[in-house]
Structure 1
Amino acid sequence: MQPLLLASSSPYRRELLDRLRLPFVCASPDIDESHRPDESATQLVRRLAQEKAMALATQFPNHLIIGSDQVAVLGDRIIGKPHTFERALEQLKASSGKSVSFLTGLALFNSRTGKCQVDCVPFTVHMRLLDDAHLRRYLQAEQPYDCAGSFKAEGLGVSLFQSTEGPDATSLIGLPLICLVDMLMNEGVELP
Structure 2
Amino acid sequence: MRNLKKVRLSYRFMELIIGMIYIILSLIAMRDVKVEFAITIQLFGIFSIMKGVFELLNYTNIKKRINVLSESVLVIGGIDILLGINLLFFYKLNIAMLSIIFGLWFLLNTLLNMCTSLILKSMSKKLWIIVMAVYYFCIVIAVLLIFRINILDWSISSEIGTYFLIFGSIKIISGVINKNDIHTI
> After TM superposition, is the score higher than 0.5?
no
Greater percentage in strand: 1
Higher helix share: 2
